Amino acid sequence: MENKKEVAIALGYTALMAIGMYVAYHVFGYKYEDKGIVNVLIYFEMIMSIYALTIYLKKYRGSSFKKIEIFPIFIIYSVLIILNTVLFIFHKAYLAYGDTLVTMFITTILIGFSEELIYRGIVLSGLLKNHSKIKAIVYSAILFSLLHAVNIFAAFPLSSVAFQMVNTFIHGVVAAYFAIKLKNIGPLIVYHCLWDLMMLSPVFVAKNVYIVLPVLIFEFVIFIAILWKFGIQKKIA
């Protein structure tokens, strides 16, 4: 099987996250939707960031940090993400997380950094050496989606986990496409951090769907366009 190394790296990262979720709930009593879960996850995210960075520097250095090539769709996506973040910061729900705000901020930085480095910087880069662009994009997105299945270990409802996996698969396809087009995962790390800052605030998201919905819809439209471009037009090489 090709790319065994990249698959093993992704599964190793997933295993670390699974342990983190299990410990957060079964040892400290934090459910996935509890804001205090970041008090536990921050330590696991530190380990996972070191794991991702060590592997990247040893085998994949420079593959995902080249000169950035901006394109129109990415600009629209950037504006939506930044607008969401601004609305979030000035919303009263943001203030409700004051006691864990710094921890949340640090945790989301680590999540954005390590996940993009693993799935777009390492896995996608490796897959592109042996597969067509569409296959590399889809396979990396599947592995990224599987990462979020471990949230069930922190008492996240199965239906919510299933929805999250579908959503992260779509996001994984879009992010991988952007990574290829941009030739740099730096901007993706930034936007991943900003997005997760809101996603770690389930109360805010539940009461303000109108804020996150435009991004989800835009991602879905891009997702369909990507499949059309690579799949239907080229019959998936």
Q: Are 174 and 223 in contact (CB under 8 A)?
A: yes
Q: Is residue 23 part of a domain?
A: yes
Structural domain contains residue 212: yes
Q: Which ranges constitute the DSSP H helices of 117-157? A: 124-127, 133-147
* DSSP at 65: B
pTM, rounded to two decimals:
0.92
Q: Which domain holds residue 224?
A: 4-232
Q: Does 207 fall in a domain?
A: yes
Tell me, yes or no, whether 237 lies in a domain: no
**pLDDT tens for the 237 residues of the chain, in order:** 578 999 999 999 999 999 999 999 999 999 998 888 999 999 999 999 999 999 999 999 888 898 998 999 999 999 998 888 887 777 666 666 666 778 988 999 999 999 999 999 999 999 999 999 999 999 999 999 999 999 999 999 999 999 999 999 999 999 999 999 999 999 999 999 988 887 776 656 666 677 788 889 999 999 999 988 886 555 544
Domain total of the chain: 1
β-pair partners for 139: none
